[in-house]
Copies of this chain bind each other. A is one copy, B any other.
Amino acid sequence: MSGLTAHGFFRAIVQTRGNLALQAYGEFCGMKGKATSFDIAYLAGVSQSTVSRALRDSPAVNQETKDKIFAIAKQLNYKVDKNASNLRKQCSGTLALLLFEDPTVDDSQINPFFLSMLGSITRACTKRGHDLLISFQQLSNDWHADYEDSKKADGIILLGYGDYIDYEEKLQQLLAQQTHFVCWGAQVEGHPEFTIRSNNREGGRQAATHLLELGYRSFAFIGIASDHAPEFFERYQGYLEVLAEHGIRPQDVPQFDAISTEQAGYSATQQLFAAGHRPRAIFTASDLIAIGVIRAVQAAGLRVPEDVAVVGFDDIPMASFCTPPLTTIQQNTTLAGEMLVVNLLKLIAQESISQTEIEPKMIVRRSCGSTQVTSTS
């Protein structure tokens, strides 16, 4: 098929000149268009079907034939055309990662937590021989969730969501279209197997327990605490739970909304103070918020942790570099990325999914005044 004219010309040469001409043929292919399986077939003196089988290492091909074909393929620098192969096989060996970001003023900075997730997802994909397509979504009308529809990807990983209420709608759409997808954090109604998430409630409990152990008795929470941000909400609830167990009533724990940015944490803290609250300890829904809180506390002339203790959530790289270093609840992004990929692959292969939850881990640093700091090498 390929090169019925020009390639045919070279084939004639090959026939008369032998090995040397193979090189000429190869160089020719290097110059104008890539070699195809037909070219290899011609040079090896076999059919194109046999080449295709040999290259995929089918057991139905003679070893000698295989060797010859591999040698020629290598010499021509032949690579299977993925578009043709995918078209025929009706799958792509590719996963798509859709990253939704909270809208920020300066949108050059991505949430560092998602960044490390991105890192581990990429690794997990590579490890399993899959490619990864990445796209940032503006959460506007145009969801590029058509990656699977357009056959560019076999499935989709969803990371981050602006307002969860808006997000849920989109999720339902994916469900209706029978798209293969997994998402981080947000539960899909009726489909727990589509989600990988931290045990956020437990994380909130750990934060509260740590603060209580250090003797604090007045608390606050900074971060959205509603269905608009279910993960934050769960952290908040776990926190309140433990506080309640120790006689501190929810109505005595002021809460101010903040999306996951430093700026939002800063503003919310100003509001907290403006409302007359002076909590001794603040649990925040994320490290980015915590960093903003710390700045606001310091800007108000108070010290962390001497006047106000602060606990974050995530354990982003920055957490250990703030002043003071931030005590936080770590989410294991390596494991999370791994599970996201593994579970999606299982979903695509119609296998059943076992694990979907990740245990949070308390990382003690200086921001709460504890003297027993978690050692991290």
Residues in A lying within 8 Å of B, measured CB to CB: 30, 34, 77, 79-84, 86-87, 92, 94, 99, 108-110, 112, 115-116, 118-120, 122-123, 126, 131-136, 146, 149-152, 177-178, 291, 317-318, 321-323, 333-334
* Cα-based distance from A110 to B123 in the complex (angstroms): 11
Does A135 contact B146, Cβ atoms closer than 8 Å? Answer: no
Residues of B within 8 A of A87 (CB): 81, 83-84, 87
Does B34 contact A112, Cβ atoms closer than 8 Å? Answer: no
* Cα-based distance from A133 to B152 in the complex (angstroms): 11
A317 partner, pick from B99, B112, B132, B334, beta carbons under 8 A: B112
Residues of B within 8 A of A134 (CB): 122, 132-134
Does A83 contact B80, Cβ atoms closer than 8 Å? Answer: no
* Cα-based distance from A131 to B108 in the complex (angstroms): 19
Residues of B within 8 A of A122 (CB): 99, 134-136
Q: Max chain B CB contacts within 10 Å: which of A83, A120, A135, A317?
A: A83
Residues of B within 8 A of A80 (CB): 150
Does B115 contact A119, Cβ atoms closer than 8 Å? Answer: yes
Q: A322's closest neighbor in chain B, by CB?
A: B321
Q: Max chain B CB contacts within 10 Å: which of A34, A134, A322?
A: A134
Given A115-B115, A323-B323, the answer on whether A81 and B317 have CB atoms closer than 8 Å is no
Q: How far is the CB of A327 from chain B (nearest CB, A)?
A: 15
Does B30 contact A177, Cβ atoms closer than 8 Å? Answer: yes
Does A123 contact B150, Cβ atoms closer than 8 Å? Answer: no
Given A115-B115, A122-B136, A321-B318, the answer on whether A81 and B178 have CB atoms closer than 8 Å is no
Q: How far is the CB of A85 from chain B (nearest CB, A)?
A: 8
Known: A84-B151, A115-B118, A321-B322. 13 other contacts (CB 8 A): A30-B178, A81-B87, A81-B150, A83-B84, A108-B116, A109-B116, A109-B119, A110-B115, A122-B134, A131-B133, A131-B152, A132-B133, A132-B135
* Cα-based distance from A136 to B79 in the complex (angstroms): 20
* Cα-based distance from A115 to B99 in the complex (angstroms): 14
Residues of B within 8 A of A83 (CB): 82-84, 86-87, 92, 151-152
Residues of B within 8 A of A115 (CB): 110, 115, 118-119
Does B120 contact A108, Cβ atoms closer than 8 Å? Answer: yes
Q: How far is the CB of A130 from chain B (nearest CB, A)?
A: 10
Residues of B within 8 A of A110 (CB): 115-116, 119
* Cα-based distance from A132 to B149 in the complex (angstroms): 17
Does A150 contact B82, Cβ atoms closer than 8 Å? Answer: yes
Q: How far is the CB of A295 from chain B (nearest CB, A)?
A: 11
Given A108-B119, A115-B115, A178-B30, the answer on whether A82 and B151 have CB atoms closer than 8 Å is yes
* Cα-based distance from A188 to B26 in the complex (angstroms): 25
* Cα-based distance from A120 to B107 in the complex (angstroms): 10
* Cα-based distance from A321 to B334 in the complex (angstroms): 24
* Cα-based distance from A120 to B110 in the complex (angstroms): 9
* Cα-based distance from A291 to B80 in the complex (angstroms): 45
Residues of B within 8 A of A108 (CB): 116, 119-120, 333-334
